[in-house]
Amino acid sequence: MIADENLLELARDWKQAGKKVALATVVSTWGSSPRPAGSQLVVDETGAMMGSVSGGCIEGAVVREAREVMDGAAPKLLEFGVTNEQAWEVGLACGGKVQVWVEAVE
Amino acid sequence: MKLALLDALEAARKAKRQVCLVRLLDQGGTEALVVDGQQTEGAPLPEDVLEAARAALREDRSKTGDTSAGKAFLQVFNPPLRMIIVGAVHITQSLAPMAELAGYEVTVVDPRRAFATDQRFPNTRVTQEWPDEALEQLAPDRRTAVIALVHDPKLDDPALDVALKSDAFYIAALGSKKNAAARQERLQALGHDPATTARIRGPAGLPIGAVSPAEIAISVLAECTRVLRQGA
């Protein structure tokens, strides 16, 4: 396990090792969301990930977006919550809502 | 995020500075760094964004705020939490790695050579200095916990004496209620008033019926977490 504080260092290490790397960060939360603002998930092009942006509910969808961003898509703000079931097939079982910023490390 | 910015961020964190990473979410995620209250990287930020970054650092909480530059995500990287454990005892062998997992930078202080060995603490920083000297050098701040586990006033008291003069957020000592009362009196005799010595939590830890050294470590770390997150 890696402490939250060390995830950026890991992102840098992966990037410097020649991998494609994206970073997902919780930027806002409402209600009983599992991880506070500032929580991060580091993803590489193989889908390897470290850290978390939820209790495991939305990581799959975030990784999919992260791979698009590391392939050149613009950074984007994702929103997950129980009210958003039509937009996303994944939601938070806890009933909270989170916004996640996904960007590439370049 | 640009690799150069990531490098600057990591360098500032290694130097134990207070760092706020600013992302202007309505402007494609434009990035800037605010270090110890001053902007060091990125295009100049409007004054109200800078002020919001300073406030987030003070509150030690990352958040998104509405600013004159639109939505700004302020990600706070304060220097790490620290835990100073006096006594390289059996409980410490559990507490030190648990606290490291919880994000603390741990230092174990014990001048007794038989206890403070690398073999007993393969991955933890251990110092064999006298507790008062070690504590003065480590200079506990409001993000530091000081825990005395020796059970011997000769070693525990000098450490607690220094801790009480600091802003350490959690100060605790092992021992029975009777020992804890005697400890309060001894530290008052050193010149601390009762309100100050009352900062020492003793017996250390939450009452969860802990028996083994690892269980006692859980109870101490749990109490330390409660004080950190809930203030009491």
**Looking at residue A82, what is its pLDDT?**
56
> Residues A50, A10: contact at Cβ < 8 Å?
yes
Distance from CA of B171 to the nearest CA of A (A): 24
**Looking at residue A103, what is its pLDDT?**
96
Tell me which residue range forms the domain holding A64. Answer: 4-104
> Residues B48, B72: contact at Cβ < 8 Å?
no
Report chain B's terminal Cα–Cα distance, integer Å: 38
Contacts of A1 in chain B (CB under 8 A): 101
Domain count, chain A: 1
**Bridge partner list, B172:** B147, B201
| Complex prediction ipTM | 0.81
Cis peptide bond N-terminal to B203, omega within 30: yes
**Looking at residue A93, what is its pLDDT?**
63
Q: Considering only alpha carbons, which residue of chain B is nearest residue A3?
A: B103
Answer whether B181 touches A (CB < 8 Å): no
**Looking at residue A87, what is its pLDDT?**
45
Contact check, Cβ <8 Å, B28/A27: no
Instruction: Please state, rounded to an integer, the average pLDDT across all residues of chain A.
Output: 86
- E strands, A1-93, are 21-30, 40-44, 49-51, 76-81
Radius of gyration of chain B (CA): 21
Output the CA–CA distances (angstroms, integers) from residue A104 to A2, B29, B206, in the order listed: 20, 11, 43
| From A1, A15, A103, residue closest to B29, measured CB to CB | A103
pLDDT digit string, tens, across residues A8-48: 999 999 999 999 999 999 999 988 777 899 999 999 999 99
Q: Is the pLDDT of residue A90 over 60?
A: no
Average pLDDT on A66-82 reads: 91
Contacts of A103 in chain B (CB under 8 A): 1, 29
Contacts of B73 in chain A (CB under 8 A): 25, 27-28, 37, 101
**Looking at residue A1, what is its pLDDT?**
56
CB pairs under 8 A between A and B: 61
Confidence band, pLDDT 50/70/90 cuts, at residue A75: very high
Confidence band, pLDDT 50/70/90 cuts, at residue A84: very low
d(CA A69, CA A45): 10
Residue B191 CB neighbour total at 10 angstroms: 10
Which of the residues in chain B have pLDDT under 70? Answer: none
Answer whether B103 touches A (CB < 8 Å): yes
Confidence band, pLDDT 50/70/90 cuts, at residue A100: very high
Contact check, Cβ <8 Å, B61/A15: no
Greatest Cα pair distance, chain A, in angstroms, is: 40
Q: Considering only alpha carbons, which residue of chain B is nearest residue A36?
A: B62
Query: What tokens appear for B101 in the block?
Result: 């997992």
Contacting residues for B26 by C-beta, under 8 A, at least 6 apart: B69, B70, B71
Contact check, Cβ <8 Å, B3/A28: no
> Residues B176, B186: contact at Cβ < 8 Å?
no
Contact check, Cβ <8 Å, A101/B23: yes
Contact check, Cβ <8 Å, B29/A101: yes
> Residues B28, B2: contact at Cβ < 8 Å?
no
Q: Is the pLDDT of residue A86 over 50?
A: no
**Looking at residue B142, what is its pLDDT?**
86
d(CA B41, CA B22): 10
